[in-house]
């Protein structure tokens, strides 16, 4: 697929500086740009490549000031980072597989229902009562348990498992080997030291426009639903426990874990390996830095850091102290010696 600078600028409502007929056939990183590719600059640390890249077209913010003339055609937009995301969608849609129909062998219950233009890959298993919307893509080796519902245009990649009664909305993507609706980790301790399994009778509800990375697990609730709200984006290798609720448009990076019955607000950002213990409330627009461990409720609009997590500004002030603890310890020992010497002289 080739796109002209004129087409891209029109799609992004951008302004062209240079030849509007210039064509590109693929995106590229700015440091790897070559003729026929489209690049962008959003992070100032990559500005040095702007003046050496061989890319044909480059996206720049409208207010960016060039230090010298560059070779690529420039398309100026309000936000280059958002702009490249939109253009990548154009490229991806052009090359995406438009799979339809059913491959064999696959098992599809006669008690299930399918919308128009669905794709069911080989070795997929569709149980009774399953309902698929229009344009749903079920890749090979996917398992859908009894009474699962999948909304329009949703894609489940190879190896995804969706347990009985779970609901996935429209325009969602679930990447390979993720598990939706496995039992929550519920066990009651007994007097003899053993643990008795607590039946997990609920389900998982995933709303529209959610993307879930590979090998992520979302457990069904003990009662009611584990809920992933509209627009949530999850990375690979994430654990969401039973009865958790994730607010809309929250993004969660890899290896994060959220324990049972905790509630996360809207538009939060969780960096990699963050953790939230059970039965907490995390407010809206909260940011958790990498490896943060949340052990108490967090109000709206807080940035948290460390374990146990504290407000980032407080953590940084504390860090300035405890990183010098070895030296402070030595200073204290020196003072103790001097005090002991003074006391000894006074006793004499």
Residues 252 and 159 in one domain: yes
Q: Which residues of the chain have pLDDT under 50?
A: none
Q: Assess whether 275 and 345 both reside in one domain.
A: no
Query: Is-catalytic flag, 141?
Result: no
Same domain, 153 and 112: yes
Is residue 58 within 8 Å of 25, Cβ to Cβ? no
Long-range interactions of 281-285: CB distance < 8 A, separation 24+ = 284/247
Regarding whether 137 and 85 lie in a shared domain, the answer is no
Q: Is residue 189 domain-shared with residue 252, that is, in the same domain?
A: yes
pLDDT at position 92 is 77
Q: Which tokens is 284 given?
A: 């809206």
Tokens standing for 299? 């109000």
132 and 278: one domain? Answer: yes
Q: Name the domain boundary from 77, 95, 113.
A: 95
CATH number for the domain spanning 67: value is 3.40.1390.10
Contact 117, 100 (CB under 8 A): yes
The residues near 274 (Cβ < 8 Å, ≥ 6 apart) are: 252, 253, 256, 257, 288, 289, 290, 291, 292, 293, 294
| Residue 50 phi, psi (nearest 5) | -60, -35
Same domain, 149 and 289: yes
Per-residue pLDDT at 255: 97
Query: pLDDT tens-digit profile of 185-222?
Result: 999 999 999 999 999 999 999 999 999 999 999 999 99
The per-residue pLDDT for 257 is 98
pLDDT of residue 326: 85
Q: Which of 67, 95, 123 is the last residue of a domain?
A: 95
Number of domains in the chain: 3
**Domain match, 280 and 214 both:** yes
Which residues constitute the domain of residue 211? 102-313
CB burial string 221-239: b at 16+ within 10 A, e below = bbeebbbbbebbebbbbbb
Q: Which of 236, 261, 258, 231 is nearest to 247 (CA)?
A: 231
Claim to verify: residue 69 and residue 218 sit in the same structural domain: no
CATH of residue 207's domain is: 2.160.10.10
Last residue of a domain, one of 61, 95, 129: 95
Is residue 84 domain-shared with residue 169, that is, in the same domain? no
Exactly one of 141, 175, 242, 279 is catalytic; which is it?
Answer: 242
Burial class of residue 130 in the structure, from the number of CB atoms within 10 Å of its CB (0-12 exposed, 13-18 middle, 19+ buried): buried
Residues 284 and 174 in one domain: yes
Structure tokens belonging to residue 10: 């029109």
**Is the separation of the CB atoms in 187 and 151 below 8 Å?**
no
Model confidence pLDDT, tens digit, residues 237-250: 999 999 999 999 99
How, if at all, do strands 287-288 and 257-258 pair?
unpaired
Structure tokens that stand for 192 in this block: 């003899």
Same domain? 159 vs 109: yes
Tokens of 37: 């590719």
* Cis bond upstream, residue 308 (ω within 30): yes
């Amino acid at each position: 697929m080739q796109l002209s600078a004129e087409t891209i600028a029109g799609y992004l409502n951008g302004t062209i500086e240079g030849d509007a007929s210039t064509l590109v056939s693929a995106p590229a990183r700015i440091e790897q740009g070559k003729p026929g590719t489209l690049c962008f600059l959003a992070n100032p640390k990559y500005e040095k490549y702007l003046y050496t890249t061989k890319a044909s077209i480059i996206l720049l913010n409208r207010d960016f000031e060039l230090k010298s003339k560059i070779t690529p055609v420039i398309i100026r937009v309000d936000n280059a980072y958002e702009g490249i995301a939109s253009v990548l969608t154009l490229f991806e849609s052009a090359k995406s597989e438009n799979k339809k129909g059913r491959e064999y062998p696959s098992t599809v219950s006669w008690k299930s229902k399918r919308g128009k233009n669905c794709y069911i890959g080989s070795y997929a298993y569709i149980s009774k009562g399953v309902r698929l919307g229009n344009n749903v893509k079920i890749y090979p080796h996917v398992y859908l348990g009894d009474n699962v519902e999948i909304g329009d245009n949703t894609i489940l990649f190879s190896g995804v498992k969706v347990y009985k009664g779970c609901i996935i909305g429209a325009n969602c993507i679930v990447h390979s080997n993720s598990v939706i609706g496995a039992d929550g980790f519920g066990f009651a301790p007994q007097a003899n030291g053993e643990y008795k399994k607590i039946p997990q009778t609920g389900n998982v509800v995933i709303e529209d426009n959610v993307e879930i990375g590979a090998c992520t697990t979302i457990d069904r609730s003990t009662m009611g639903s584990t809920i992933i709200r509209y627009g949530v984006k999850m990375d690979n290798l994430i654990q969401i426990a039973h009865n958790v609720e994730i607010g809309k448009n929250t993004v969660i990076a890899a290896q994060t874990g959220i324990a049972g019955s905790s509630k996360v607000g809207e538009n939060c950002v969780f960096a990699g390996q963050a953790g939230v213990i059970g039965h907490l409330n995390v407010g809206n627009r909260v940011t958790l830095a990498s490896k943060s461990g949340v052990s108490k409720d967090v109000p709206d609009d807080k940035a948290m850091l460390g374990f146990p997590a504290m407000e980032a500004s407080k953590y940084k002030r504390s860090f300035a102290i405890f990183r010098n603890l070895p030296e402070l310890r030595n200073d204290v020992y020196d003072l103790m010696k001097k005090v002991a010497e003074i006391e000894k002289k006074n006793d004499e």
